[in-house]
């Protein structure tokens, strides 16, 4: 009789198959059939610690999901469908259903009345899926602080947004970051990349309005149960944004997006980051915003003549024919003007 096996040597493949919709027992049976070819029920039971009724439910599920064929005969046998065919079929089904599902989901989201401000993400899949959602929903800016490992989970949507014209700042941390590796990854792309050590946290910030946050220690320890927070609130996300840029301004530069004029800034923090890298200030443009004390609109032509940077105060000085004003970002408490956008001439 063959040695019984619980399939413990296939934990990574089982995890992949579970992501494709199989249960753990279905995954173990499918792997067994791939390794051994067609098998009877008794053959399978000789390898796996299943009861006959359990195996019946497992094989029925595998057939329904398109992973095995049942060969008629006495006794009947079970045969694994080749993985390439399984994956291709599931991709076709996903593509066919994708547009229908997304259209339905968009309508459902628009019609819902309540939005949760803070969600506890108790596993890495929740952190990654919500990060991808925020990246996909970004219209103008993305700020991302990440390890290289976590970056690879969210790489594809980042590249799509980058090619679509979204302004992206990525700050890497961790001991496995190599400058040449980063330059090769983003070759020919207009993006800002920096490196900070030891790092602050994992974060994805979408339009400085919504964010995903995970503590640094959790992000760097692959053996730790991962958790994080999904923050759908502008005030809380601005706190993450402020702390991101506190690290950004002192981090080591790897890649810098060239400043192409004219250029419209919707982020006061990104504007200051660009100004910090220029030799001399005196940048001419149009500032649109509101007076902090009265809420009245501010819209004037002038020049940026200075910047102020410390851990608490981050602003710039804007001079016009009507005077000199300090300009802050969202939730400013000290400045004269709250910036909405700035157009470089």
pLDDT in tens, 50-97: 999 999 999 999 999 999 999 988 899 999 999 999 999 888 888 878
Q: 245 with 271, same domain?
A: no
Q: Has residue 86 been placed in a domain?
A: no
b/e code 3-17 from CB counts within 10 Å (16+ = b): eebebeebeebbeeb
Q: Is the bond into 312 cis (omega within 30 degrees of 0)?
A: no
Residue (of 128, 147, 115, 152) closest to 227 by Cα position: 128
Q: 157 with 289, same domain?
A: no
pLDDT tens column, 307-320:
988 767 889 999 99
Q: 173 with 237, same domain?
A: yes
295: alpha, beta or left? (left if phi > 0; alpha if psi -120 to 50):
left
Q: 283 with 200, same domain?
A: no
Q: 148 with 242, same domain?
A: yes
Q: 118 with 229, same domain?
A: yes
Q: Has residue 336 been placed in a domain?
A: yes
Q: 237 with 290, same domain?
A: no
Q: What is the CATH number of the domain that holds 308?
A: 2.30.30.690
Q: 127 with 203, same domain?
A: yes
Last residue of a domain, one of 229, 255, 281: 255
Q: Has residue 97 been placed in a domain?
A: no
Range of the domain at 337: 263-344
Q: Has residue 296 been placed in a domain?
A: yes
Q: What is the CATH number of the domain that holds 72?
A: 1.10.10.10
State pTM to two decimals. 0.68
Q: 73 with 169, same domain?
A: no
User: What domain count does the chain have?
Assistant: 3
Q: Has residue 282 been placed in a domain?
A: yes
**Cβ neighbour number for residue 216 with a 10 Å cutoff:** 16
Cβ-proximal residues to 207 (8 Å cutoff; 6+ apart), any chain: 138, 139, 140, 141, 142, 266
pLDDT tens column, 123-176:
888 899 999 999 999 999 999 999 999 999 999 999 999 999 899 999 999 988
Mean pLDDT of 23-27: 95
């Amino acid at each position: 009789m063959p040695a019984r096996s619980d399939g413990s040597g296939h934990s990574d493949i089982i995890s992949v198959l579970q992501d494709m919709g199989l249960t753990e027992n279905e995954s173990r049976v499918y792997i067994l059939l791939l390794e051994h070819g067609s098998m009877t029920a008794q053959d399978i039971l000789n390898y796996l610690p299943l009861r006959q009724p359990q195996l019946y439910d497992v094989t029925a599920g595998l057939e329904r999901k398109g992973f095995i064929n049942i060969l008629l005969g006495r006794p009947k046998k079970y045969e694994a469908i080749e993985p390439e065919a399984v994956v291709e079929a599931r991709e076709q089904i996903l593509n066919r259903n994708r547009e229908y599902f997304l259209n339905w989901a968009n309508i459902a989201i628009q019609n819902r009345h309540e939005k949760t401000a803070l969600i506890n993400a108790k596993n890495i899949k929740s952190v990654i899926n919500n990060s991808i959602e925020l990246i996909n929903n970004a219209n103008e800016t993305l700020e991302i602080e990440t390890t290289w490992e976590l970056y690879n989970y969210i790489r594809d949507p980042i590249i799509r947004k980058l090619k679509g014209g979204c302004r992206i700042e990525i700050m890497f941390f961790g001991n496995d970051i190599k400058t040449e590796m980063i330059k090769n990854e983003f070759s020919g792309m207009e993006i800002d990349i920096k490196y900070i050590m030891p790092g602050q946290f994992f974060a994805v910030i979408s339009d400085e309005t919504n964010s995903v946050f995970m503590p640094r220690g959790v992000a760097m320890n692959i053996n730790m149960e991962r958790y994080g927070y999904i923050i759908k609130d502008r005030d809380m996300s601005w706190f993450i944004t402020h702390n991101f840029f506190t690290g950004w301004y002192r981090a080591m530069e790897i890649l810098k997006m060239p400043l192409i004029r004219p250029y419209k800034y919707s982020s006061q923090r990104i504007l200051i980051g660009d100004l910090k890298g220029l030799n001399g200030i005196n940048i001419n443009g149009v500032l649109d915003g509101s007076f902090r004390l009265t809420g009245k609109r501010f819209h004037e032509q002038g020049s940026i003549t200075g910047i102020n940077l410390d851990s608490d105060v981050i602003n710039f000085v804007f001079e016009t024919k009507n005077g000199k004003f300090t300009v802050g970002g969202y939730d400013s408490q000290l400045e004269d003007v709250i910036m909405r956008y700035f157009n470089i001439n």
